[in-house]
Chains A and B, each alone.
Chain A
Amino acid sequence: EVQLVESGGGLVQPGGSLRLSCAVSGFTFDGYAMHWVRQAPGKGLEWVSGISWNSGGIGYADSVKGRFTISRDNAKNSLYLQMNSLRTEDTAFYFCVRRAVTVVPSSIYFDYWGQGTLVTVSS
């Protein structure tokens, strides 16, 4: 059974830092690209960042570029998101998601999601 379990969320002051972790099991972690997607309370979904299977390809949404850093440790079956210079607008549930393997380059989607961890940025 595929499982993605996020941790590391909590309350942090504006300007502070937080590191999220995602522990995965039930599949061969180094065979998949992984992403973070967030959802502000009561709002829609927003893609945050993604990383290829070997960390050779990394991307960020403009809203977090320069402040967040995605990484992974394939030996530990874990995905991370280092969040610095946090702002109140970063308050959200952060979901760890697996990008599905597809043979069609124009078809990119997410087939498994974790339950999310809540990050609250407030003074």
Chain B
Amino acid sequence: QSVLTQPPSVSGAPGQGVTISCTGSSSNIGAGYDVHWYQQLPGTAPKLLIYGNNNRPSGVPDRISGSKSGTSASLAITGLQAEDEADYYCQSFDNSLSGFHVFGTGTKVTVL
């Protein structure tokens, strides 16, 4: 059961922007642990998209950005392109009794 909550879906027209939220609690994001984001294209393995709240691995375009505040984080995609249509997951660490590495519930991005 995921402890990080994301909206099930977001959508936007090509060229527009979307934002995906990731809501946690005081035992994970609010405890100071960084948030990371993964993109999963249909039928493929997840790929690291953002690490350390707002850092992009090489090859990830700068129209993709991340932020973190309090017990939440966000992923923003501007200038939507067809290839952005995918599932997106946030991830952090949880220091509660049953915690460890935790993922968000996942968000499907649809390019209209």
Contacts and interface: CB of A to CB of B under 8 A. Distances in A.
Contact of A116 (B45, B91, B101, B104): B45
Nearest to B48: A111
B106 interface: yes
A123 interface: no
Contacts of A95: 45-46
Contacts of A61: 100
A109 B91 contact: yes
B51 A115 contact: no
In this complex, which of B45, B47, B48, B104 has the most chain A Cβ atoms within 10 angstroms of its Cβ?
B45
Given A44-B106, A106-B93, A109-B51, A50 B46 contact: no
Contacts of B105: 44
Interface residues of A, number: 25
Contacts of B33: 106-108
Given A44-B104, A47-B101, A50-B101, A113 B46 contact: yes
A58 B47 CA distance: 24
A59 interface: yes
Contact of B101 (A106, A108, A112, A114): A108
A45 interface: yes
Interface of B: 2, 32-34, 36, 38, 44-48, 51-52, 57, 89, 91, 93, 98, 100-106
Closest 7 CB pairs of A and B: A109-B36, A107-B34, A47-B101, A45-B103, A113-B45, A44-B106, A106-B33
Interface of A: 35, 37, 44-47, 50, 59, 61-62, 95, 100, 102, 104, 106-116
